[in-house]
Amino acid sequence: MNKTFTTLLSLSISLFSIAQTQIANGGFENWENIAAQTEEPTDFNSNKTGSSTAQIGPQTCFRDGSVKHGGSYALRLENKTVPIVGTVVNGNATTGVINAPSTNKADGYIGTTKYNDAADIRRLAFTGRPDSIVGWYQYTSGGTGEQGKVTAILHNNHYYDPETPTTNHPNPTADKIARATFLTPTGSTGTWTRFTAPFVYTASGNPTYIMLNMTPSNNQLTTFAGSKIWIDDVAFIYNSAVSVKEQDLSKNSKVYYFEKNIYVQVSSKDSESHTLELYDVTGQLVLTQKMEGSASSTVDVSSLKTGVYMYKLNGKAQSKFGKLFVD
């Protein structure tokens, strides 16, 4: 199935020129083919929309409304056994396409094109240079040494993972800008746990695309049936995880996040009346708080989902724009 990735959301909304690139469905709230064996998060693909051999395997990608970190759903990936044959299929969700040129697992890889159909191109546009990827996960290990993995590759042109060239794809590393990889600890993690991984840059300039791959099995050749990973609220950080590179339109005010609260400090001469507006990555206004006659105010944001938010602090004679990461 071809997917047109038109749902990339750049945070560079005209009101917030300091915003940075995110992906639109990092919270896995939007799904396609719901209740079918081909259900997948919008902008992502599983083996069921991979190459013809990959599609033979059982469903490994699921919308989970019970085990979730924020919102209504989380992504659940499971390793499943092919009946009769006994081969274990890796659970996978990717912005690319899962290619299985044969039933030999060593031949499998994820690419931006289907190996037997050059016209089937799946690339997610992404032009930022983030410092790290963050998100939340739970993990159930199906065997000794098994680890889940989340990896993000910033690149130009086409890309393949694993990168090792095969008869089915070339070496793509000349097009790599950066890579970030998170591996779960071995064993199970039964509560929602925040993960983060830094991007290691190998080239200058901005990328054109991002390949985001997630699986319960770091090693595709030693997969254990029953391994599961839940992932939710994936985002990209461009500076500090507390307060991210603000554009100071007012040098006399400070806005920062700490432990479920946003703190606003303004100079005493400007403290007569201020309004804080908070927007999510889609540009939707999620909070408005008026502050009267105080140089210091605290806004409780414990009800908000983890992620990047943009704020606008409106004063009597000036405004201040910025960006915060809420965890």
- Do both 153 and 285 map to the same domain? no
- Do both 145 and 217 map to the same domain? yes
Mean pLDDT of the chain: 85
CA distance 213 to 155: 14
- Do both 110 and 215 map to the same domain? yes
pLDDT band at 6; cut points 50, 70, 90:
very low
Residue located via tokens 């746990």: 193
Residue pair 101/168 in contact by the 8 Å Cβ criterion: yes
Q: Using one digit for the tens of pLDDT, what is the confidence trace for 218-230?
A: 988 878 999 999 9
Residues constituting the chain: 327
Higher pLDDT, residue 214 or 8: 214
In this model, does residue 24 exceed pLDDT 60?
yes
- Do both 189 and 286 map to the same domain? no
Residue 140 maps to a domain: yes
> What average pLDDT does range 43-51 have in this prediction?
96
Residue pair 74/231 in contact by the 8 Å Cβ criterion: yes
- Do both 27 and 138 map to the same domain? yes
CA distance 146 to 223: 7
Q: How confident is the model at residue 193, as a pLDDT?
A: 93
Residue 244's Cβ-count burial label (10 Å; 0-12, 13-18, 19+) is buried
Residue 145 maps to a domain: yes
- Do both 73 and 175 map to the same domain? yes
Number of domains into which the chain is organized? 2
> What average pLDDT does range 111-122 have in this prediction?
95
Residue 3 maps to a domain: no
CA distance 99 to 102: 9
In this model, does residue 314 exceed pLDDT 90?
no
Q: How confident is the model at residue 174, as a pLDDT?
A: 96
> What average pLDDT does range 105-109 have in this prediction?
91
Higher pLDDT, residue 157 or 239: 157
Q: Find the CATH number of the domain harbouring 288.
A: 2.60.40.3080
- Do both 265 and 209 map to the same domain? no
Residue 83 maps to a domain: yes
CA distance 132 to 126: 14
Q: Using one digit for the tens of pLDDT, what is the confidence trace for 174-220?
A: 999 999 999 999 999 999 999 999 999 999 999 999 999 999 999 88
Residue 81 maps to a domain: yes
In this model, does residue 281 exceed pLDDT 90?
no
Q: How confident is the model at residue 138, as a pLDDT?
A: 98
CA distance 158 to 136: 28
- Do both 82 and 229 map to the same domain? yes
Rank 16-20, 143-147, 320-324 by mean pLDDT and report only the highest: 143-147
CA distance 35 to 98: 21
Q: Find the CATH number of the domain harbouring 62.
A: 2.60.120.890
Percent of all residues in the chain with a pLDDT value above 70, rounded to a whole number: 85
Strands (E) located in 85-221: 88-89, 93-94, 97-99, 109-111, 113-114, 117-121, 124-125, 132-140, 149-155, 160-161, 176-183, 189-198, 200-201, 209-215
In this model, does residue 320 exceed pLDDT 80?
no
CA distance 248 to 231: 35
- Do both 157 and 178 map to the same domain? yes
pLDDT band at 239; cut points 50, 70, 90:
low
- Do both 177 and 257 map to the same domain? no
Q: How confident is the model at residue 1, as a pLDDT?
A: 40
> What average pLDDT does range 231-252 have in this prediction?
62
Last residue of a domain, one of 219, 237, 255: 237
Q: Virtual CA dihedral for 30, 33, 35, 38, nearest 10 degrees?
A: -110
Last residue of a domain, one of 237, 252, 279: 237
Q: How confident is the model at residue 254, as a pLDDT?
A: 83
- Do both 222 and 267 map to the same domain? no
Q: Residue 72, Cα to own-chain centre: how many angstroms?
A: 16
How much of the chain is helix, strand and coil, in % rounded to 5? 5, 45, 50
Residue 119 maps to a domain: yes
pLDDT band at 91; cut points 50, 70, 90:
very high
Instruction: From 129, 125, 289, select the one nearest 198 (Cα to Cα).
Output: 129
Last residue of a domain, one of 206, 237, 268: 237
Q: How confident is the model at residue 283, as a pLDDT?
A: 66
> What average pLDDT does range 284-310 have in this prediction?
83
- Do both 187 and 152 map to the same domain? yes
Residue pair 253/270 in contact by the 8 Å Cβ criterion: yes
Q: How confident is the model at residue 9, as a pLDDT?
A: 33
Instruction: From 208, 13, 6, 7, select the one nearest 127 (Cα to Cα).
Output: 208
Query: Residue 258's domain spans which residues?
Result: 243-326
Residue 184 maps to a domain: yes
Q: How confident is the model at residue 15, as a pLDDT?
A: 38
Higher pLDDT, residue 79 or 319: 79
Q: How confident is the model at residue 318, as a pLDDT?
A: 66
Residue 4 maps to a domain: no
